[in-house]
Amino acid sequence: MNQLTKKFLTELAVSGIIIIALSVGMLFFGSNIKKFSAKLENSKGELNSRGRAVGRLAELRRSKEEVETPYLTILYNLIPKKDELINISKEIQSLADAEQLTFGFSFTGETQGDENGLGSVRFSINVEGSSKEKVLGFIEALKNFQRLLTLEEISWSESREKTQATVKGSVFFRAES
C-alpha cells in the first residue's frame, strides 16, 4: 500500500467515524428534543388549566363578596355591639305598650363573647295586662323582635281581671371590632 492509499483510507475512516458520531448525536438530540417538546406541551396545558382555575377562583371570590356584604349587614343589624344594648329595655317596652301592658325589665346576667363567638345578656321581663290575648300578642312580637334573642322561660298566671307573665331570655351581642 502506498502512502496515498493509506492517507485516503485513514481520512475515510476518520470521516466515517465523524459521520457515525454525528448520526448518533442527531438521533440522541432528536429524541431529547421530542421529549422536551412533549414536556413543554404538557406544561402549557397545565398552565392553561391553572389559569382557568385561578379565573374561576377570582369569580367565586367576587360572587362571595357580592353575596356576603348584604348578609353581613343584616347580621350586624340583628346582632348589635354590647354598648348598643343600652336601650333594649325601651325597645321591648314599645312592644308591651303596643299591647297596652304594664312592663318591668331587668338584666340578670351576662356571658362574655370573644372574636369567634357571640356574647349574651340575660334579662327578665314582667308584663301584666287585661287579657291573655294581649300578653300572647306581646310574646309573639318578642319572638319576632328586631334583635337576635332567645326566650328561655315563660311563666304565666291568670285571673279574671288580669293576666301576668314573666319572660326570661337572652339577647346576643357581637364582640367589639
- The DSSP secondary-structure symbol of 147 reads S
- The vertex-174 CA angle with 106 and 68, nearest 5°, equals 140
Could you identify the residue written with the cell 356584604? 69
Could you identify the residue written with the cell 297596652? 100
| CA separation for the pair 142, 72 (Å, rounded) | 23
Tens-digit pLDDT profile for residues 4-53: 888 888 888 888 899 998 888 888 888 888 888 888 888 888 888 888 88
Residue 123: the pLDDT is 93
Tens-digit pLDDT profile for residues 38-92: 888 888 888 888 888 888 888 888 887 777 667 667 777 678 888 888 888 899 9
| CA separation for the pair 164, 155 (Å, rounded) | 8
Tens-digit pLDDT profile for residues 131-168: 889 999 999 999 888 888 889 999 999 988 899 999 99
Residue 93: the pLDDT is 92
Indicate the residue type of 38.
A
What cell does 45 get?
A: 396545558
**DSSP-assigned states of every residue in 1-13:** --HHHHHHHHHHH
Out of 3.20.20.150, 3.90.850.10, 3.30.70.60, 1.10.10.10, the CATH code matching 82-173 is 3.30.70.60
